[in-house]
Each structure stands twice: as C-alpha cells, then as structure tokens.
Structure 1
Amino acid sequence: MYNKTQTDSLKQYTRAQLALRNGTDRDEIWCAHAGLIYDVSSSRLWRNGKHYEHWAGQDLTAELANAPHADWVFTKFPVVGQLI
C-alpha cells in the first residue's frame, strides 16, 4: 500500500483527533487501519459515521478480522493521514 517515504509525508493525527472525525461532530468521516487514516466520507455505507456495528473516528484494525471483507476495502478511499 504505502511505503515509508510516503507515510513520512502524511500529516499525523492522534486518536483524540481521529475521534473528532466521526461524522457527527464534523462532516469528515475517517477511520484508521494499520496506522493509516482513511476518509470514508464518500461511502454511502458510512453515512452518519456508522457502518453496521462499527463507528467512524476509530482505529478499526482489530475489528477487521470480523469483517466480511479484507483490508483491500480501504484502497477505495483516500489516505488523509497517519495515526500516531
């Protein structure tokens, strides 16, 4: 996906900053996976910051194991930052 040079140039966000992009406090709907933060705002499946039992503004790395898809799903969305 991204190599070290590419991730070094990404803006860094804390978990608290990510939590603000949950689709309710702001228009941004972001989720993190494997250290990268994705903007899922364009997905109709993430309207209002909720996707089935998952909430935006969180690191979903551990939860992906229970999803009906693999991490390829994140390739559909732009990377907006790195989770620190």
Structure 2
Amino acid sequence: MKTYSKQQLALRNGQDKPEIWVAYLGKIYDVSDSRLWKNGKHYEHWAGQDLTDELADAPHTEQVFEKFETVGILG
C-alpha cells in the first residue's frame, strides 16, 4: 500500500483536490462518496487530517471507518 505524507494528505481536503481523505491510526481512508463529508467538512472536523485524537469526541466508534476504502498509509 502506498505511503503518503501529512502534506500529501492535507491536499485531499475536498478543496485543493477532488479526493476527500482522512487518516485514523496510520491508515488513510477515502471518504469522498460520503454525504457526511461533503466539501471536506464533517461537523467540526476537516478532511485532509489525522483524526486519531479526535475520535474520542465523536458519537460513533472507529468501526465507522470500515465503510470506507483504505487508500494508503500515513508516513
């Protein structure tokens, strides 16, 4: 699986490139097709970032990432 830097992930924020990606526990997920990530924003969270530390505030568990394709590893 391809490794992406934090800078490369940051470009997949729904604004700079068409892809909308987020990272969690070192894996990068493509959330582009999710209506909840429209324009790269999901409530107070922004795409193109590592959301590992933010999941504790979410009303769901990490199992939500199982719905999305893993596109890479955050290196």
Give the TM-score band, short-chain normalised.
over 0.9
Alignment of 1:1-84 (within 5 A): 10-84=1-75
Please give the root-mean-square deviation of Cα atoms over the aligned residues, in Å.
Answer: 0.3
CA distance in 1, matches of 2:8, 2:17: 12
Q: Deviations over 1:58-77 (max 9, x none)?
A: 00000000000000000000
CA distance in 2, matches of 1:14, 1:41: 19
CA distance in 1, matches of 2:54, 2:61: 11
Over 4 Å off, 4+ runs: none
Greater strand proportion: 2
CA distance in 2, matches of 1:73, 1:61: 13
How high is the TM-score relative to the length of structure 2? Answer: 0.99
Identity within the alignment, %: 68
CA distance in 1, matches of 2:30, 2:63: 15
How high is the TM-score relative to the length of structure 1? Answer: 0.89
| Amino acid in the other structure paired with 1:20 | L
| Amino acid in the other structure paired with 2:8 | Q
Q: Which runs of 5+ in 1 are unaligned?
A: 1-9
